[in-house]
Amino acid sequence: MSAELDVVCIGNALVDILAHGDDTLLERLGSQKGTMHMVDAARAEEVYAAMGAAAEASGGSAANTAAGIASFGGNAAYIGRVADDTFGHVFTHDLRAVGVRFDAPPASNGQPTGRCLVIVTPDAQRTMYTFLGAASELDPGLVDETLVSAAQVTFLEGYLWDQPPAKEAIRRAASGAHGAGRRVALTLSDPFCVERHRDEFLELVEHEIDVLFANEQEIRLLYEVDNFDDALQHVRGHCEIAALTRGARGSVIVAGDEVHVIDPAPVQVVDTTGAGDLYAAGFLYGLTHGHDLATAGRLGSLAASEVISHIAARPEVDLAQLARPLL
């Protein structure tokens, strides 16, 4: 069945608010460095008041992936929820401006558009505080079945499991996609996210997911194993395709008997934010454009290397042009 869309990405729609800060600030906020904290509106205000001067840019993990696919020249859509407010307009503008289809109506629960407050310490680590706001209203009605059945791949971010109403929406998206003969992909998102939702993720990976993205720490936590190879042997039996990223060690793609070990693209690392999101973008672009798994993995590495060479979590150059030597 031919598809109108390459990928529909479903996730928490967030605007990033980014400031530099030192360890003293994190201590004052009582926060563990390098982790993502889910916060309510009051705590978000408290953190923002304590933060230095900031810059704002659209973010959200799956939205970054959608923007990356569009930058490769792919045909991507996004499902997620913003409010009818300034940050909602900014988020919508920034996705549409890069060619991502985004038609979900603004949330009606009265909450403002979600945001992710990011404090970057001098050691280049990021400590994040996510206030979901309107994103928390991703109910089943929002999953456009026409969109899901029109896309070769429906891509879900693990962070969605942090908002209970989204689970039904996700099940509906997965069954809609499978009913139309399409694939369902998932990223485990974050080690803490795996710890929070391990049992559900395991069941999902066994029964619903065709393409799994995870980094080394996430996949080891999922299977509660101490080394990468053990995790690799586990996932091999469950998903059609697993793309496992290992930072500076590159990535490993496993699909039944087929295994590829992909080197990372050389890069001067400035900020690792968005690495996983953009790896998924490159991989999914490759997968939906008839490329073999090794090429898809190389496109993933390429996109990840671009996004970690600068502060922003979305590509700053045309990935289609960057990828030309590989295709």
Residues that bind a second copy (CB under 8 A): 19-20, 48-49, 51-58, 67, 85-87, 90, 93-95, 97-98, 112, 312, 314, 316
- Which one, 73 or 247, has the nearer CB to a second copy? 73
Cα dihedral 291, 294, 295, 301, rounded to 10, equals 140
> 20 or 172, CB closer to a second copy?
20
* CA gap 46, 98 in Å, rounded: 33
311 C-beta neighbours (distance < 10 Å), count? 17
User: Which of 62, 63, 284, 10 is closest to 170 using CA atoms?
Assistant: 10
CB of residue 222 vs a second copy: minimum separation in angstroms? 33
In this structure, the number of other CB atoms found within 10 A of the CB of residue 123 comes to 9
Identify which of residues 260 and 314 has a Cβ nearer to a second copy in the complex. 314
| Cβ nearer to a second copy, comparing 74 with 112 | 112
* Cα distance between residue 283 and residue 60, in whole Å: 18
Q: Which is nearer to a second copy, 255 or 311 (CB)?
A: 311
Q: Which amino acid is at 198?
A: R
Closest to a second copy by CB, 54 vs 294, is 54
Give me the least distance between CB of 93 and a second copy, in Å please.
7
Q: Provide, rounded to whole angstroms, the least separation between the CB of residue 9 and a second copy.
A: 15
Query: Residue 64 Cβ, how far from a second copy at the closest point, in Å?
Result: 11
The minimum distance between CB 288 and a second copy, in angstroms, equals 22
Min. distance of Cβ 92 from a second copy in angstroms? 11
With b for 16 or more beta-carbon neighbours within 10 A and e for fewer, the 265-286 pattern comes to: bebeeebebbbbbbbbbbbbbb
Question: What is the spatial distance between Cα 67 and Cα 76, in angstroms, rounded to a whole number?
Answer: 8
